[in-house]
């Protein structure tokens, strides 16, 4: 298979983990006789510094003309710590989602058996957890009408029926391929937008009689993710709730550095780790590249390359089981490995 992949390393640790992810994909292409072309473009703070725009038109055109986007992370303290900044790195991420029509963010949450002790939650609660969070990505407060002055501010949480229908249908399809259980998370007892979400979801239930659907207020869902994570199979929710719940769910695995994600929609899909840019660690060779590598596995799977994706996941599992990990995952007193060295180990494993 021939694939054109736009690589957006971004800021902070982004270039380091991106390099590992690309080398792993190159090793897969070599082993399985594929041709992957990688083209690079700036985004986030790096793009602001270079062009004044966090998502330049040239970057958008590259993404649009590619088969997939392999994205890493954005964010820098010089913008985060300045509330008066008119241009921010995060605006680049929102612009990318909007321009590419990426209405669905898919985040798998699962436990690596050898790392279950790293979770802050008791083993008997998290062991065996395996669910997917599907977050609506281009609506809600993040994109609604906004206003701010010195005394008043608001963000409008607007949704339309078509926006809700397409994300709920996607979630139903995922549930149908898994354990046939979907949880719709909203705040229908308070918010009008949530009542529309619930109304539309209930109407769609008839089209998916093989999927068991339940409804949960977001506050209850946030507690249940921590106290009974094995309850969930597929969760679907709106943008703001999804942002919060997926970050909360990420702690189940014991490290954000292990969790990949995909964003899909109208144009080119984007594959990225869920963590941020961690600018304080930039250049120190201590960032965990596993989530970036596993995002590459999701990319491969998206194009039907199941064996290739499994090879990547097997390599990550083997690295973890053999203790080839960064400091936050290592056992007390154990030898730790740097970002680059982990990448080399994974490539060697794939080539064997």
Which residues are marked as active site? 142, 187, 219, 243, 247
| HEC readout, 129-185 | CEEEEEEECCCHHHCCCEEECCCCEEECCCCCHHHHHHHHHHHHHHHHHCCCEEEEE
| HEC readout, the chain | CEEEEEEEEECCCHHHHHHHHHHHHHHHHHHHCCEEEEEECCCCHHHHHHHCCCCCHHHHHHHHHCCEEEEEECCCHHHHCCCCCCCCHHHHHHHHHHHCCCCEEEEEEECCHHHHHHCCCCHHHHCCCEEEEEEECCCHHHCCCEEECCCCEEECCCCCHHHHHHHHHHHHHHHHHCCCEEEEEECCCCCHHHHHHHHHHHHHHHHCCCCEEEEEEHHHHHHHHHHCHHHCCEEEECHHHHHHHHHHHHHHHCCHHHCEEEEECCCCCEEEECCCCCHHHCCCCCCCCHHHHHHHHHHHHHCCCHHHHHHHHHHHHHHHHCCCCCHHHCCCCCCCCCHHHHHHHHHHHHHC
Which residues 6+ apart lie within 8 Å of 150 measured at CB?
Answer: none
Phi, psi of 208 (to 5 degrees): -130, 65
Asked whether the CA dihedral 138, 144, 148, 152 is positive or negative, the reply is negative
């Amino acid at each position: 298979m021939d694939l054109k992949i736009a690589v957006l390393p971004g800021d902070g640790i982004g270039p380091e983990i991106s390099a590992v992810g690309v080398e792993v994909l190159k090793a897969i292409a070599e082993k399985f006789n594929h041709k992957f072309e990688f083209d690079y473009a700036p985004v986030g703070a790096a793009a602001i510094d270079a062009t004044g725009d966090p998502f330049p038109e040239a970057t958008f055109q590259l993404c649009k003309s590619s088969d997939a986007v392999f994205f890493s992370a954005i964010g820098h303290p010089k913008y985060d710590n300045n509330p008066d900044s008119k241009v921010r790195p995060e605006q680049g991420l929102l612009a990318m989602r909007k321009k590419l029509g990426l209405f669905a963010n898919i985040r798998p949450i699962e436990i690596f058996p050898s790392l279950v002790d790293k979770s802050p939650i008791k083993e008997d609660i998290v062991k065996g957890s395996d669910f997917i969070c599907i977050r609506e990505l281009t609506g809600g407060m993040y994109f609604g009408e906004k206003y701010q002055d010195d005394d008043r501010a608001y963000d409008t949480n607007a949704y339309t029926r078509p926006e809700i229908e397409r994300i709920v249908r996607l979630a139903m399809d995922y549930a149908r391929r898994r354990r046939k259980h979907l949880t719709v998370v909203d705040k229908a007892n308070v918010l009008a937008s949530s009542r529309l979400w619930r109304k539309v979801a209930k109407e769609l239930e008839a089209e998916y009689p093989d999927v068991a659907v339940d409804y949960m207020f977001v506050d209850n869902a946030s507690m249940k993710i921590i106290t009974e994570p094995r309850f969930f199979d597929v969760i679907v929710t709106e943008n703001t709730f999804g942002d919060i719940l997926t970050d909360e769910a990420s702690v189940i695995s014991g490290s954000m550095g292990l969790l990949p994600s995909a964003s899909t929609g109208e144009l080119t899909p984007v594959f990225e780790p869920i963590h941020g840019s961690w600018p304080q660690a930039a250049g120190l060779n201590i960032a965990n590249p596993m989530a970036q590598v596993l995002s590459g596995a999701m990319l491969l799977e998206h194009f039907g390359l199941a064996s290739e994706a499994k090879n990547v996941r097997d390599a990550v599992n083997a690295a973890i089981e053999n203790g080839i990990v960064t400091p936050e995952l290592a056992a007390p007193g154990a030898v730790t490995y740097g970002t680059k060295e982990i990448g080399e180990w994974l490539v060697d494993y794939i080539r064997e």
